[in-house]
Amino acid sequence: MRTIDNPPNPFESQHRDLLEPAPHVRLQLYEDATREILSKNESPDLPFRWSLNPYRGCFHACAYCYARPSHEYWGFGAGTDFESKIVIKRDAPQLLRRLFDKPSWKGDLIVFSGNTDCYQPIEASLGITRQCLEICAEYRNPVAIITKGSLVLRDLDVLQQLDGEAWLRVYFSIPFADDTVARQVEPHVASTRKRFEVMRSMAAAGISTGISIAPIIPGLNDEDIPDLLDQAKGAGAVEAMTSLLRLPGSLEEVFLERMAEAFPDRVRKIRHRIQEVRGGAMNNSAFFSRHHGSGPYWTMVEQLFDLSSRKAGFRASKDGEVPRTFRRPATGQTTLF
């Protein structure tokens, strides 16, 4: 277990110095009393409007997770707090049903999860994601899932119902071809091999799947792109997408610290490559630029992805393919007429 280690929280006015070594991290659960369950996406460079996140924070502990700074809004840290202080939205299913029953809801696509993984380990005990998916199936609301968790296979029955009566695609986030490297960066995630096995099982059951090679960390996993695309196609994926590493706020400090710990011989190269594709900076938060780089090296990465995608047999994805399937289930009284 790591010792407690968080960058300074910009939303906190106090700074504390320990007089002795920090204790080891232990998992702590908190309950969220929010009365809204969907997050509205106002970003013009994202292809969806609504996302549902049953959990804040993520036990997967990925060093590169862009959601880490969001934990600071709740008085936590972006480092070990993010992966050990998990906030659960226990009322999420009831809030989702209440939303679906409102005349204002028109059945837009909902993405599970736009921020933290809806199939992180605590879901095995709480089942909040499954309950929400069951409600989506009941109302035939289209769903997309982005996950690293093999636990998604547990809900195959619900996913098949969604696929048959509404619209569904399950994207597996798999950024590393080498399990050893992946374990250094994504310490509590199912292995790359396991994620491809789950993808293959999903595809065999008729579920539409995709691969998200994200993030691309220049100097670390960009050379994995052809192998990952070949494996994904062999496992039945129908779509492939990618995006460049983002390092907003205090994530940069967390990421570089963990890269230095895991890859002391490569961290300088990684830093240099990031700056090379970010115009000398470590991050670019501007819309339409934050997911992509610039310069010759990034052009080479994009060409590698495009060429490898075509060679593997992936077609360019098309917008506007999600059908309108939403309908409110008939009540006992209305079925009399």
**For residues 302-313, average pLDDT:** 98
Break the chain into its structural domains and give their ranges. 28-314
| Closest C-alpha among 93, 94, 77 to residue 16 | 77
Read off the pLDDT of residues 267-282 as tens digits, 9 standing for 90 and up: 999 999 999 999 999 9
Q: Which has more confidence, 219 or 332?
A: 219
| Closest C-alpha among 283, 198, 302 to residue 243 | 302
**For residues 128-134, average pLDDT:** 98
Q: Which has more confidence, 24 or 156?
A: 156
| Residue 335 pLDDT exceeds 50 | no
Res 6: pLDDT: 83
Write down the pTM of the prediction.
0.91
Give the rounded distance of the alpha carbon of 328 from its chain centre: 29
Res 16: pLDDT: 59
Q: Hey, how many other C-beta atoms are within 10 angstroms of the C-beta on 126?
A: 16
What is d(CA 63, CA 61) in angstroms, rounded to the nearest whole number? 6
Res 334: pLDDT: 45
- CATH placement of domain 28-314: 3.80.30.30
**For residues 67-80, average pLDDT:** 94
| Closest C-alpha among 58, 113, 99, 114 to residue 251 | 58
**What residues contact residue 293 under an 8 Å CB cut-off, 6+ apart?**
218, 244, 277, 278, 301
Q: Hey, how many other C-beta atoms are within 10 angstroms of the C-beta on 266?
A: 15
**For residues 29-50, average pLDDT:** 88
| Mean pLDDT, the chain, integer | 92
